[in-house]
Amino acid sequence: MSRINDVGGVQGFGELVVEQDEPPFHADWEAHVFALNTALLRKRIYHLDEFRDAVERLPPAQYLAASYYERWYLAIRTLLVEKGVLDAEELDDVHDG
């Protein structure tokens, strides 16, 4: 059961889409997900291999539908909940959307 991230040599993903003059991040939240992950790795809340594992454990349909940094957010969320750092309920308690 290779995981959904293991795409080397898999056929059918189609043509490359290359964005010209792409910015480092497309939105503030992407940059913040990147920085949050850096901070949590540095604080040893989780290990990089655990983070990769959490990305790969996303259900395949969700993995493929999500953007790159959405995957990261979901993986960080998984690890924070699994490690008892935050509750799923409080993470979902979002009112300012």
Partner 1 sequence: MSGDHSDAPIAARVRRMEHLLEQRGLVEPGVLDETLAAFLNRATPMNGARIVARAWTDPVFRERLLVDAQAAIAGLELSMGGGLRVQDLQVVANSEDEHNVVVCTLCSCYPLALLGPSPTWYKSEAYRSRVVREPREVLREFGVDLRPEVGIEVWDANSEIRYMVVPNRPPGTENLTEEQLAALVTRNGLIGTALV
Partner 2 sequence: MTFTTGELVRAKSVDPPHHTRLPSYARGAVGTIVRPQGAHLLPDDVARGISAPEEAVYAVRFTARELFGTGDHTVTLSLWESYLEKP
Kindly list the residues in this chain that would bind partner 2 in the complex (CB under 8 A).
Answer: 1-3, 6, 8-9, 47, 49-50, 52-53, 56
In the list 7, 46, 50, 60, the residue contacting partner 1 (rule: CB under 8 A) is 7
d(CA 5, CA 9): 12
Residue type at 48?
Answer: L
Partner touching 44 among partner 2, partner 1, none, CB below 5 to 8 Å by kind: none
The conformation of residue 66, written as its DSSP 8-state character, comes to: S
If DSSP codes are grouped into helix, strand and coil, which group holds residue 27?
coil
Partner touching 65 among partner 1, partner 2, none, CB below 5 to 8 Å by kind: none
